[in-house]
Amino acid sequence: MTSTVLESISNGADPGATTTKRVLLLKPRGFCAGVVRAIDIVKIALDTFGAPIYVRREIVHNRYVVNELADKGAIFVHEIDDVPDGQRVIYSAHGVSPAVRDRSKGRNLRVIDATCPLVTKVHIEAVKFAKQGYSLVLIGHRDHDEIEGTLGEAPDVTQVVSSAAEVDTLEVPDPNRVAYLTQTTLSLDEARDIIHALKQKFPNIVGPHSQDICYATENRQVAVRNVAHNADLVLVVGSTNSSNSNRLVEVSRNLGTKGYLIDDSRAIDPKWLENVTNVAVTAGASAPEVLVEDVVNYLRQNGFSSVEEVEVMPENVRFGLPPEIVQAIGGASGAEAVPVR
């Protein structure tokens, strides 16, 4: 972890001993590899094929990003049935169910799949466990796009639970043949409590070889956990429908530090900053850095003159583009390869 202020705290210094108001800018924050990949897929598709490009649901859960892509020619629809026959459609980073894929085939839609590879991993696990005769427990939020897609892989044998209390109501044909999977954007604490309850109810339950909660979700939560005690306030940049952004606020509040989810600086209530010396700022995995900069500038203008980046851990994950995009780029006359950031 690299930060002058955190080093002084660890050495026993009182962070409130000075009147300087600080912004602790957490790192990692903002876009994860899956989000970068999904946004790049839409941009490259627009550049390569031209508008319109249809996108099922929000490509990522951030209104600013969606509006920016819509301005470039992307048309966001709720369901596949809203896409005209034969048109090109992109699946969002949250994934889709087999039923959606079947409807796309029936409509002769030209599909580009922007599903995050880490979400695809969970889909593959669901199919594997179902084929092996397990009853599946999917841990997550029922109204989330990701849960809808994963549930669709094996709907007849899958039940969704959103809390430890719901575990008590679960009934399965064979308590010795139960497996669990999790939504990739859950709180680590939330998932741990539910998994513990599942193991109490089903001692022989099995899970994935590696956890389903994605690296970026975990890293951003760990960063908040490391810094929240040294802040009077935590501001999380992200949209209200972003699961991982909401979880960051929960992590802060669970540690006793006030936390708020904000779309941008306009959502900041000046009253939050009263009697506050240290503000930690982070962003959910689908929030662009431009909105973080907007918040930091607002805080600077309101007396928080010191901005110190606190790097809790390095993050260098990158995902490649899907074959539909790679082939399109390669087949475009005179087109140059576009690197994924």
Quickly tell me which residue has 């699946």 as its tokens.
91
- Active-site amino acid positions: 146
Helix axes 33-49, 63-71, angle to 10 degrees: 10
Quickly tell me which residue has 């957490």 as its tokens.
26
Collect contacts of 250-257 with beta carbons under 8 A, ≥24 apart. Answer: 250/187, 250/190, 251/187, 251/189, 251/221, 251/224, 251/225, 252/224, 252/228, 252/280, 254/189, 255/224, 255/225, 255/228, 255/229, 256/228, 257/228, 257/229, 257/231, 257/232, 257/233
- Strand 53-56 vs strand 88-91: parallel, antiparallel, or unpaired? parallel
Cis peptide before 52 (omega within 30 of 0): yes
**First-to-final CA distance of the chain:** 24
